[in-house]
């Protein structure tokens, strides 16, 4: 049955991919923009259709009839796919024909890609366990579906949700968490395909296929595709596709080209604040190459049409389009010092970065010793092949665009964050350049250099494959039905057993909410408010040091229950303990639950008491 559900999800994901292509193809036909290959046309159509669908989903949120809107948009996509099936299938079939292996080596590598993609797809469908996903990627979309589209100040990361989170909303709105996870996997496959299209401009089919495999086996990439629960991978797909559009020379420079680049750049900027650097780099490359005020105007219009919506949302809710950043100037009354400082630390903006750190960062080799994990590692490919890449660079549009986007984006992200995982959107572009550098060893007859570089690439592939197997083994077991999902969640999902214990003790309280201090709240099944000062803008610890201030807060928030598991956060523990002593908080239920002690990767567990307290009115 597990494999049957996976097959159904795969069919649904492929159907949506073709439906996105049908919607995007309508715009491409209207613009009469021609591509140099069917593969590039198909990927661009999917990208444009995807961004358009996300804008429609954003509009649906405003109606507050979100589940109905998700079904209506899905119905519209189905109708468009049926009406444009022949055209879409023609381009899809042409793309498959262009990517068909031409040699025995290419066929072997393609088989490996199919195996790796299958492993990653099944792993992606395992129950959600990613820490950030349980904190906000999926949690916020679930809350929007259940309680409406409005600001959620009790989750400080809710304002960082961008347009690609709407794909998670779409899957959940259609009643399928697995479909939401399947959308994230789809973004990885599309990114690998766009990398292949870029690399094919310089490299042979064998090298192109090999570098696509390197991408799929890079630790950060397979983490993103499988268990992260983050839609950031779509930034990489849209960025690569925007570069594909910009380097087209078949139709020459035109306002149509600028509009398409703008639509895709806006999709990147609307996904995450750091995407603005990438969008700006794409815009700069377009202005330099197209050299037209009209084209620049269409590029700006396209980017605003596709990517401004999360910023308008934050502006309407807080008066600050990039809230909570710059909150001290634009919206000081809406943030708390503890949560803001914690968010700055989490995103790397609180750390200063020296020039010595920037250089390895640009070549995807910068790792924080204090935060090393799969979310930091890309592999050595780009760094090792950097000298060969420099030798391959020529003064032509395709090289100018790729190098400018790569360097400008990396420097911008490095100066403001310095977290390696935020470089993911540029990684396929850098790999395409690296493929061109490796190809140079063949053109110049450098057999020894080619042998050394090739051996390092093979080592990177083998290391990535071993890492993938070790990392995905538990998820694969549950995905194919060899392990029970409940058991898997108890063993792998942080705070899952605490959430389930709270659900069992408290039940679903529709009239009153509960105050919880749980970072990973996705599996809670009742209305709640997050009270952790490090992740909530609802309360400032300095102002919450008396029972009277807490009584006012609890009444204002319509909170009838407080959950202690096992202790209150230190900054607010004293007044809440005092309320227990005075009888304002009365224990009504208690049970033990198992949770991780320290970081989940250490796999050390402990039992803690979960106490439900009733608020006295």
For residue 76, CA distances in Å to 56, 71, 186, 351, 502 come to 11, 9, 20, 46, 40
Q: Which two tokens stand for residue 141?
A: 């979309």
Q: How far apart are CA 51 and CA 45, in angstroms?
A: 10
pLDDT of 348 higher than 80: no
CATH class of 494-615: alpha beta
589 beta partners: 612
Q: What is the pLDDT of residues 186-233, one digit of tens each?
A: 999 999 999 999 999 999 999 999 999 999 999 999 999 998 999 999
How sure is the predictor about 347, in pLDDT bands with cuts at 50, 70 and 90?
confident
Exposure string for 450-487, b = 16+ CB within 10 A, e = fewer: beebeeebeebbeebbebbeebbebbbbbbeeebeeee
Sign, CA dihedral 546-548-551-557, equals negative
Q: Name the 3-class secondary structure at 512.
A: coil
Across the chain, mean pLDDT equals 90
Q: How far apart are CA 532 and CA 508, in angstroms?
A: 21
Residue 615: φ, ψ to 5°? -80, 125
Other Cβ atoms less than 10 A from the Cβ of 196: the count is 27
Other Cβ atoms less than 10 A from the Cβ of 548: the count is 11
The reported pLDDT for the residue numbered 207 is 93
Provide the CA 487 distance to its chain's centre, in angstroms.
27
Q: What is the pLDDT of residues 496-515, one digit of tens each?
A: 999 999 999 887 666 789 99
User: The tokens 């665009």 sit on which residue?
Assistant: 401
Average pLDDT over residues 475-482: 90
The reported pLDDT for the residue numbered 472 is 93
Beta-sheet pairing, 513-516 with 528-530: parallel
Q: What is the pLDDT of residues 138-189, one digit of tens each?
A: 999 999 999 999 999 999 999 999 999 999 999 999 999 999 999 999 999 9
Specify the length of the chain in residues: 617
Q: How far apart are CA 406 and CA 429, in angstroms?
A: 7
**CB-side exposure of 438: number of CA atoms within 13 Å?**
29
Residue 604: φ, ψ to 5°? -105, 125
- How is residue 133 annotated by DSSP? I
For the chain, the structural domain boundaries read 2-247+322-475, 494-615
Sign, CA dihedral 150-156-157-160, equals positive
Could you tell me which of 281, 237, 286, 284 has the C-alpha nearest to residue 261? 286
Q: How far apart are CA 610 and CA 342, in angstroms?
A: 25
Beta-sheet pairing, 528-530 with 559-564: unpaired
Enter the pTM of the model. Answer: 0.94
Give 166-192 as a DSSP string: HHHHHHHHTT-HHHHHHHHHHHHHHHH
**Better pLDDT: 328 or 495:** 495
The reported pLDDT for the residue numbered 206 is 92
Q: What is the pLDDT of residues 35-79, one digit of tens each?
A: 989 999 999 999 999 999 999 999 999 999 999 999 999 999 999
The reported pLDDT for the residue numbered 602 is 61
Q: How far apart are CA 90 and CA 306, in angstroms?
A: 27
Sign, CA dihedral 400-401-407-408, equals positive
């Amino acid at each position: 049955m597990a494999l049957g559900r996976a097959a159904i999800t795969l069919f649904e994901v492929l159907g949506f991919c073709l439906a996105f292509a049908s919607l995007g193809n309508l715009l491409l036909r209207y613009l009469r923009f021609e591509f140099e290959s069917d593969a590039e046309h198909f990927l661009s159509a999917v990208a444009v259709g995807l961004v358009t669908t996300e804008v429609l989903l954003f509009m649906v949120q405003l109606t507050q009839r979100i589940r109905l809107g998700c079904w209506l948009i899905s119905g519209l996509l189905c109708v468009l796919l049926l009406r444009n099936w022949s055209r879409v299938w023609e381009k899809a079939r042409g793309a498959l024909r262009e990517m068909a292996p031409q040699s025995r080596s290419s066929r072997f590598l393609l088989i490996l890609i199919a195996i790796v993609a299958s492993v990653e797809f099944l792993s992606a469908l395992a129950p959600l366990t990613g820490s950030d996903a349980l904190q906000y990627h999926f949690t916020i979309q679930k809350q929007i579906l259940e309680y409406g589209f409005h600001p959620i100040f009790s989750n400080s990361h809710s304002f960082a949700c961008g347009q690609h989170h709407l794909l998670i909303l779409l899957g959940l709105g259609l009643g399928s968490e697995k479909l939401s996870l399947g959308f994230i996997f789809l973004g990885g496959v599309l990114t690998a395909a766009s990398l292949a299209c870029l690399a094919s401009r310089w490299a042979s089919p064998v090298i192109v296929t090999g570098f696509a495999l390197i991408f799929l086996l890079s630790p950060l990439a397979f983490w993103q595709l499988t268990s992260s629960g983050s839609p950031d991978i779509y930034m990489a797909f849209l960025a690569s596709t925007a570069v594909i559009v910009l380097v087209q020379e078949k139709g020459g420079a035109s306002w149509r080209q600028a509009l398409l680049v703008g639509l895709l750049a806006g999709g990147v900027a609307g996904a995450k604040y750091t995407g603005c650097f990438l969008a700006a780099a794409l815009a700069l490359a377009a202005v330099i190459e197209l050299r037209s005020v009209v084209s620049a105007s269409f590029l700006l219009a396209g980017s605003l049409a596709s990517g401004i919506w999360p910023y308008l949302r934050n502006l309407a809710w807080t008066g600050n389009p990039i809230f909570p950043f710059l909150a001290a100037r634009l919206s000081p009354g809406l943030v708390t010092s503890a949560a803001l400082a914690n968010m700055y630390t989490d995103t790397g903006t609180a750390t200063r970065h020296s020039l010595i750190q920037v250089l390895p960062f640009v070549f995807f080799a910068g790792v924080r010793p204090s935060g090393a994990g799969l979310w930091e590692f890309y592999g050595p490919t780009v760094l090792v092949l950097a000298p060969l890449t420099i030798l391959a660079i020529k003064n032509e549009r395709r090289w100018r665009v790729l190098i400018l986007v790569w360097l400008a984006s990396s420097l911008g992200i490095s100066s403001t964050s310095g977290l390696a995982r935020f470089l993911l959107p540029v990684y396929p572009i850098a790999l395409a350049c690296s493929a061109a550098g490796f190809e140079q060893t063949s053109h110049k007859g450098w057999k020894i250099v080619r042998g050394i570089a090739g051996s390092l690439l093979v080592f990177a592939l083998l290391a990535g494959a071993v890492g993938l197997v070790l990392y995905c083994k538990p998820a694969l077991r549950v995905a194919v039905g060899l392990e029970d999902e409940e058991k898997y969640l108890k063993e792998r999902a942080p705070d899952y057993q605490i959430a389930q214990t709270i659900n069992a003790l408290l039940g679903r309280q529709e009239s009153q909410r509960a105050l919880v201090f749980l970072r990973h709240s996705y599996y809670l099944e009742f209305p709640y408010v997050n009270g952790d000062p490090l992740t909530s803008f609802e309360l400032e610890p300095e102002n919450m040091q008396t029972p009277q201030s807490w009584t006012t807060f609890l009444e204002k928030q319509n909170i009838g229950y407080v959950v202690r598991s096992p202790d209150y956060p230190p900054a607010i523990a004293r007044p809440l303990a005092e309320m227990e002593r005075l009888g304002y908080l009365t224990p009504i239920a208690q049970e033990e639950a198992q949770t991780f002690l320290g970081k989940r990767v250490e796999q050390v567990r402990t039992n803690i008491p979960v106490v439900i307290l009733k608020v006295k009115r």
